[in-house]
Structure 1
Amino acid sequence: MTKLSVNINKIATLRNSRGGSQPDVLQAAINIQKFGADGITVHPRPDERHIRYEDARQIKEIITTEFNIEGNSQVQKFIDLVLEVRPDQVTLVPDADDQLTSNHGWDTIKHKDYLKEMVALFQKSGIRVSLFVDPVEEMIIGAKETGTDRVELYTEGFAKDFLENKANSIRKYVAAAQKAKEVGLGLNAGHDLDLNNLAFFYQNIPWLDEVSIGHALISDALYLGLENTVQMYKRQLV
């Protein structure tokens, strides 16, 4: 079964825009797992413009589903947080400090030695590691050589192309996913997956371990309600 992990960064963005504690990020995490999500994802950035580092600490204490922390391991503060909190999974993303949102995966060949070091560091603390990668077979092979447990396919390209040509949109993702399975890597996916394209993506790559979805799901919840929206996304994965 492919798990649905809900990224709650956007809920934190709304809270931070006004100050105070509304909406309550911790209660949202509790409710989202109660509504059927299989995990909670957060992506703290150095400026804490949405999820704060303290949020990650508190979320770990209150949820019973899987906890995934995404971020840039080139920031020492992020490394320290992950080693302190010990989530079920850490997803390493090559973000710049001031980046609005993730827009590319790791070059696992160029950065192999560095990634090997980071993967080993987190695995030593019992944390599963996933590397954010573009759908390129060479990057999958390179990821395998780092010792990572999983890769997460960066799916913005799929989402954009899906509107024009479904068959073309999925082709390179299937090839990358097959390569991941061939070399023995677990497989996640995320970025711009939504109610329009998620089922098609899953039907073509049914061995996905997990999808991480935030912006689209939280946006849909404004119109459809949070509980209903979580359930609608879950139904795309069957």
Structure 2
Amino acid sequence: MTLLSVNLNKIAVLRNSRGGDEPDILRAAQTCIEAGCGGITVHPRPDQRHVKPQDVRALAAMLRGRVEYNIEGNPFAPARGTYPGLIELAREVRPTQVTLVPDSDSQITSDHGFDPLQQADVDKLQPLVKALRDIGCRVSVFVDAGASGFERFAAIGMQRVEIYTGPYAHAFAEGDARESLALCAETARRAQQSGLAVNAGHDLSQANLGAFHAAIPGLAEVSIGHALIGEALYEGLSTTVRNYLQILR
């Protein structure tokens, strides 16, 4: 079954809006685990707009040996303040998976992936992938639907790609996602042919996940946060996680 990894960034956003410790990100993680999710995702940023380094560390201690832990982030973003940088943070907490995302402070959320045909990026990523593999992390990389040349990522030690599903979700909401879904499926097929497993994430929801899941054979993992936390405001966190798991079954 495709693993559901719940992204808790929005819990941290709500907490940070007032300061203090509520809502409690550890309690949210515990609730998701008890509901049956297979993983927890966080995306720390240098500006610390949501999940903070201390959250990353506290979650690592809580999750170890229980569910998968996926940390997303820009591997090229330098340390800033108490943020030590993605690779150093991974060395500290040793998550199950690190997902490399080319985001920046100016982006409200991630909106594009790395391109395997950009050899300069591949060359810069290679030593970072090795460093992460050396500490025992599985390495995934955020990519756009329609990307190709995945053998270049496989050659430097990448193990998975995460397909950016924002355009698919937008097309689904507009009423016709056939073309976008076909592009995602073709991208997944290319990646799998290159020996890479396939994850997916961004704006996936209860409404659009079923069609996406059915179209991508062998989908390893979905990382879902924004829609899931929003839906949980109405139905509760446990119920919402269970709803997603039922879709994936």
How many equivalent residue pairs? 238
CA distance in structure 1 between the partners assigned to 2:168 and 2:152 by the alignment: 22
Report if the CA contact (8 A) 2:148-2:190 is conserved. no
For 1:41 and 1:206, locate their aligned partners in 2 and report how far apart those are by CA, in whole Å: 22
- What is the aligned-residue RMSD (CA, Å)? 1.1
What's the CA shift string for 1:178-224, capped at 9, x where partnerless?
Answer: 11111110110000000111000000113100000000000000001
- In the alignment, structure 1 residue 220 sits paired with structure 2 residue 231: yes
SS in 2 for 1:28: helix
Distance 2:122 2:146 in 1: 15
Which amino acid in the other structure matches residue 156 of structure 2?
T
Partner of 1:3: 3
CA contact (8 A) 1:151 1:188 kept: yes
Is 1:206 the equivalent of 2:217? Answer: yes
What does the per-residue CA deviation read over 1:88-137, in whole Å, with 9 as the maximum and x for residues that have no partner? 00000001133210000002232110111111110011100000001124
What TM-score comes out, normalization by structure 2 length?
Answer: 0.92
Please give the alpha-carbon distance, in whole angstroms, between the structure 1 residues aligned to 2:167 and 2:151.
Answer: 20
Q: In the alignment, is the contact (CA less than 8 A) between 2:116 and 2:147 conserved in 1?
A: no
Q: What's 2:89 paired with?
A: 81
> Quick one: distance in 2 between partners of 1:213 and 1:123?
25
Which residue identity does 1:225 align to in structure 2? G
- Structure 1 runs of 4+ aligned residues shifted over 2 Å read 139-146
Q: Percent identity?
A: 48
In structure 2, give the amino acid aligned to 1:106: F
Unaligned runs of 5+ in 1: none
Q: Check conservation: 1:6, 1:213, Cα contact below 8 A.
A: yes
- Separation of aligned partners in 2, 1:35 and 1:41: 16
Extract unaligned runs of 5+ from structure 2: 79-84
Partner amino acid, structure 2, of 1:234: L
Alignment of 1:55-204 (within 5 A): 55-63=55-63, 64-76=66-78, 77-110=85-118, 111-163=121-173, 164-204=175-215
Shift of the 139–50 alpha-carbon distance from structure 1 to 2, 3 Å rule, reads farther
Is the deviation greater in 102-111 or in 192-201? 102-111
